Amino acid sequence: MTNRLFLLAAYDSQNIVGTALSYYVLELSKLGDVVLFMDNDMPGDGELGKISGHIALFGAERHSEYDFGSYKRAYAIAKKKLALDQYKYCYLLNDSVYGPLFPLKKYMEDMEALNKDAFGMVFNPNHKEPHLQSWFIGMNHKVFTSSWFENFLNNVKAEENKIEVCRKYENGLTNLLCENNSSIGFLFKIGGKKIYNNVKSLYNQGLPFIKKNAFIRHNGSLCNQLQYILSKCEPQLREAILDDANRIYGPVYVSKLLSATPLDALIRYMIYLSKKVRTAS
């Protein structure tokens, strides 16, 4: 019996269970029970077959409430069909990242060893709204079985834009934890947009994930950073990432991105800056 419950939120523009998501589910299943909820119409049986042996529960519904809408639904079906009291920890995770780039077991143990009520992979020390980044948050039994946490999830609804989602739910969860005197810990403190822009440096610091949008960030100017990370990945993960990226962004784009020189990267970044200046003026 595992003592970890993973509530994994996912979305796919093509309504499938992608290779990278399958890889993530497989790695999580080695460490706990996985409840996957997709913000999609229900994928076909062939898609579910890719992960059926590695998940405890699955759900799908196009709800347009972003990740917290999927967390809400995953929690509800877990409460209904699983005995929550058997779990010591519950994690909220989403598929906005590729990975894990390193074995995840030690990271889980290190987070849990912090002996905090809630803990995250990454803490953003934003001076206005410091918060745990919601793509990887863990909570102890006291927190995830509390009425105030369940009420928070139950009140998640569709918002006008992603900024409001982050304000009300990502920042809001950290605020709620503090309001309820919950202690908070984390493994990495990463401010600003570094989680998106400094993927090579963060990889070398041991962060076991990269944000998916690194492939299109700043007009693709992170190309050399991605080349470096992919050259270090074990083959199965590298193939999963490339299969996913080729499907989403197109093989021609990805091929050019991953064969770009440092000069190409600079040109890409200058084009990005030029467009940004024109847009602002």
Strand partners, 120: 137, 186
104: its two tokens: 């995840």
Give the per-residue pLDDT at 174.
96
Q: Are strands 118-124 and 136-140 parallel, antiparallel or unpaired?
A: antiparallel
244: its two tokens: 């996913």
Give the per-residue pLDDT at 54.
97
3 contact partners, CB below 8 Å, separation of at least 6: 32, 86, 87, 88, 89
Give the per-residue pLDDT at 165.
84
Write the single-letter amino acid at 127: H
Give the per-residue pLDDT at 106.
98
Give the per-residue pLDDT at 219.
95
Per-residue pLDDT of the chain (281 residues; tens, 9 = 90+): 479 999 999 999 999 999 999 999 999 999 999 999 999 987 777 888 899 899 999 999 999 999 999 999 999 999 999 999 999 999 999 999 999 999 999 999 999 999 999 999 999 998 889 999 999 999 999 999 999 999 999 999 988 888 888 889 899 999 999 999 999 999 999 999 999 999 999 999 999 999 999 999 999 999 999 999 999 999 999 999 999 999 999 999 999 999 999 999 999 999 999 998 888 76
| CATH number of the 4-192 domain | 3.90.550.10
Cite the beta strand spans of 40-107 per DSSP E.
57-60, 89-94, 97-98
Q: Identify the H or E element spanning 228.
A: helix 223-232
Kindly report the CA angle at 137 between 141 and 157, in degrees rounded to 5?
95
Q: List where CATH 3.90.550.10 sits in the chain.
A: 4-192
pTM of the entire structure? 0.95
- How far is Cα 277 from Cα 281, in angstroms, rounded to an integer? 6
Give the per-residue pLDDT at 175.
95
